Chains A and B, each alone.
Chain A
Amino acid sequence: MKRWRSYFLHILIFIFAQLAWLALIALWIYWYVSNYIIFSQVGQKLAPQMMPEGRNIFALVSGLVLMVAISAGMWLLFRRLSIQYHMTLLYDNFIANVTHELKTPLASIQLYLETMARRELPRPKQEEFLALMLKDTQRLNSLINAILEMPALEQKRIAHKFAVHAANPLFYGLFEEAREQFQIEEEVLTVQGTLPCQCVADRNALRIALFNLIDNSIKYRHGPLRISISLRCTEKTIQILFADQGIGIEEGEQKKIFDKFYRSHSDALPSVRGTGLGLYWVREIMRFHGGEITVSSPGRYGGSVFRLELPIYRLSKRRQIEKLLAKSRRKGSDGEK
């Protein structure tokens, strides 16, 4: 409530400032025109040589241009402020989510420790509780890692070990790793198509991106989990279609989901876990590779299809690729120092 009030206050200040400018311009023009009329009537009679025509018009036009420039500047400033305001709201949301994510495993560990301290537990129960605690510490660890990786991503350091890879073994290898990591069967995550081309990529960064997509499919599944991936090479790009049969994404949200800290709120959502960073990272990682990601979905419960595109390694684009490789060599040697 308070926030909205302050937001409206900003809009009001903005409108008043604009009105003030416009009033000033109007006054100024009025003053100029009326003075000019008097001056031209009286001045003509007194001293005709004091009437420098051209310069006066130049003053009027340049004054107007200045005014317009100032107004445009103010508008830009206002726009930036409102973006900043929007970010703050999302950031608050992020903090709330991270708090939830940090406190829940902590609460669970504390619960088991206190339970073990106040009760005599049989050995199998102890082992069960210890295993649950270990799972919680792993969860804490991966969240803390994700938070620690944030600055690296912000400074565009997350993808820095670029190398030329043969695309087929690269992607098939990554999906095989994913099956192991998420413990999913081969028929649940199916991959088809071949990639008889090369690409310049940071394998680790691509893994983060793909694992994020798979993690989302698991979290937002609707019914049994099923992910089908198809790979294809075109003349210029590698195309990866990543389709799941999850709860889908409403049309209005399809663009927003890649925004930093954005999390969708809907009563159809089966999971509350998350930081609002996953898909933002995926998009950023794709951008570092010179690629892009888009999503399409028929809406609620219709599943989603993510379409990832990466440029392939071509001799004609060699200079651009060499630049990426050189950058990664530089970063690598910086790291070694």
Chain B
Amino acid sequence: MRSETYRGSRILLIEDEESLAIGLEYNLTEEGYITIRAADGKQALAEFARQSFDLVILDIMLPFIDGFEIARRMRQIAPQLPILMLTARKTPKDRIEGLQTGADDYLTKPFHIEELLLRIKGMLRRKAWYGESPEVTRIYTFGDNEVNFDSLVCQCGKKTIRITPHEAMVLRYLIAHRDKVVMRKELLEKVWQMSGEMETRTIDNFIMRLRKYFEPDPAHPVFIVSVRGAGYLFKSG
């Protein structure tokens, strides 16, 4: 079974509702994950500081410190840590705020446990792929740019910026397959673990952002070039 690979992954479960937390902990433990539970914002940040985790499941309405703030603080320390928001709030505004503060995925209550477990597996798979792709060094330099794939801090000429985990994943995938054409669909499948239901235009938006960061002239890209009718290609120069 594929999930065997991720057995022993450490999950921080931040949920203030005891009965929900007990049920989730049981299911996660049965799947082979090591689960640590935190019942409020303070406790969550304390646990987070004490030990390292492979994934975080985060509620939004929490005592003391809310989920958005927790996600923000965790992102500063661990830019690549997968965060899944699990919440009763389902307005578009909440979703957008959640994803903006750095959640990788957003699931609303009530949810199907099967779906939750699949999403967790997907997020861990992406994390594993990201950490294991040996073709790309930790710090990669091209043109005037230097990208640190651990801290996600990039030196672009004189500017220093921080890219999001998804942007880093797209860039890393393109670099790993440099000088080869990468199809949009392939990016969707490898980076987002999705098969076509997400608009490929989303990919174009990511590419546009990456060009803005790294290309000397984003209108005439030299590193990330489009291949008409096929996809994108990273030129190692």
A103–B110 CB distance below 8 A: yes
Question: For the complex, is B220 an interface residue (Cβ under 8 Å from A)?
Answer: no
Contact of B113 among A115, A135, A269 (CB under 8 A): A115
Which of A108, A125, A129 has most B Cβ within 10 Å?
A108
- Chain A nearest CB from B19 CB (Å) reads 4
Residue of A nearest to B86 (CB): A107
Question: For the complex, is A271 an interface residue (Cβ under 8 Å from B)?
Answer: yes
Question: For the complex, is B7 an interface residue (Cβ under 8 Å from A)?
Answer: no
A103–B88 CB distance below 8 A: yes
Proximity string of chain A (258-275) to chain B, C-beta cutoff 8 Å, 1 when within and 0 when not: 000000000111111000
Contact of B24 among A96, A111, A135, A271 (CB under 8 A): A111
- Chain B nearest CB from A286 CB (Å) reads 29
Residue of A nearest to B22 (CB): A132
Contacts A115-B26, A270-B63: A106 and B112 contacting too (C-beta < 8 A)?
no
B61–A270 CB distance below 8 A: no
Q: Which residues of A contact B61 (CB under 8 A)?
A: 100, 272
B89–A112 CB distance below 8 A: no
B111–A107 CB distance below 8 A: yes
Question: For the complex, is A119 an interface residue (Cβ under 8 Å from B)?
Answer: yes
Question: For the complex, is A118 an interface residue (Cβ under 8 Å from B)?
Answer: yes
Q: Which residues of A contact B17 (CB under 8 A)?
A: 104, 108
Proximity string of chain B (22-37) to chain A, C-beta cutoff 8 Å, 1 when within and 0 when not: 1110110010000000
Question: For the complex, is B181 an interface residue (Cβ under 8 Å from A)?
Answer: no
Question: For the complex, is B109 an interface residue (Cβ under 8 Å from A)?
Answer: yes
Interface residues on A, range: 20 to 34
Question: For the complex, is B20 an interface residue (Cβ under 8 Å from A)?
Answer: yes
Residue of A nearest to B30 (CB): A119
A267–B112 CB distance below 8 A: no
A111–B20 CB distance below 8 A: yes
- Chain A nearest CB from B116 CB (Å) reads 9
Contacts A267-B64, A270-B64: A103 and B23 contacting too (C-beta < 8 A)?
no
A272–B65 CB distance below 8 A: no
Question: For the complex, is B207 an interface residue (Cβ under 8 Å from A)?
Answer: no
Q: State how many residues of chain B have any CB contact under 8 Å with chain A.
A: 25
Contacts A107-B20, A108-B20, A111-B24: A272 and B63 contacting too (C-beta < 8 A)?
yes
Complex Cα distance, B62 from A271, in Å, reads: 8
Which positions 86-138 of chain B face chain A at CB distance < 8 Å?
A: 88-89, 109-114
Q: Which residues of A contact B111 (CB under 8 A)?
A: 107, 110-111
Question: For the complex, is A136 an interface residue (Cβ under 8 Å from B)?
Answer: yes
- Chain A nearest CB from B70 CB (Å) reads 12
- Chain B nearest CB from A59 CB (Å) reads 56
Question: For the complex, is A204 an interface residue (Cβ under 8 Å from B)?
Answer: no
A135–B63 CB distance below 8 A: no
Question: For the complex, is A53 an interface residue (Cβ under 8 Å from B)?
Answer: no
Q: Which residues of B contact A133 (CB under 8 A)?
A: 19
Which positions 120-152 of chain A face chain B at CB distance < 8 Å?
A: 125, 129, 132-133, 135-136
Which of B41, B65, B88 has most A Cβ within 10 Å?
B88
- Chain A nearest CB from B38 CB (Å) reads 14
B23–A115 CB distance below 8 A: yes
Q: Which residues of A contact B89 (CB under 8 A)?
A: 96, 99-100
Question: For the complex, is A114 an interface residue (Cβ under 8 Å from B)?
Answer: yes
Contacts A108-B20, A267-B65, A270-B40: A115 and B110 contacting too (C-beta < 8 A)?
no
A108–B63 CB distance below 8 A: no
Q: Which residues of B contact A106 (CB under 8 A)?
A: 109-110
Proximity string of chain B (52-71) to chain A, C-beta cutoff 8 Å, 1 when within and 0 when not: 00000000011111000000
Complex Cα distance, B117 from A119, in Å, reads: 14
Which positions 193-239 of chain A face chain B at CB distance < 8 Å?
A: none
Proximity string of chain A (85-115) to chain B, C-beta cutoff 8 Å, 1 when within and 0 when not: 0000000000010011001111110111011
A114–B113 CB distance below 8 A: yes
Q: Which residues of B contact A125 (CB under 8 A)?
A: 26
Complex Cα distance, B64 from A269, in Å, reads: 5
Q: Which residues of B contact A270 (CB under 8 A)?
A: 40, 63-64
Complex Cα distance, B23 from A125, in Å, reads: 11
Complex Cα distance, B19 from A136, in Å, reads: 8
List the 6 closest A-B pairs by CB distance, nearest first.
A107-B109, A107-B110, A103-B88, A111-B23, A108-B20, A132-B19
Question: Could you show 12 A-B contacts with beta carbons less than 8 Å apart?
Answer: A99-B89, A100-B88, A103-B110, A105-B19, A107-B109, A107-B110, A108-B23, A111-B20, A129-B23, A269-B63, A272-B61, A272-B62
Extra contacts, 18 of them, besides A100-B88, A114-B112 (Cβ < 8 A), are A100-B61, A100-B89, A104-B109, A106-B109, A107-B20, A107-B88, A110-B111, A111-B24, A111-B27, A111-B110, A112-B23, A114-B113, A114-B114, A115-B23, A129-B23, A267-B41, A270-B40, A271-B63
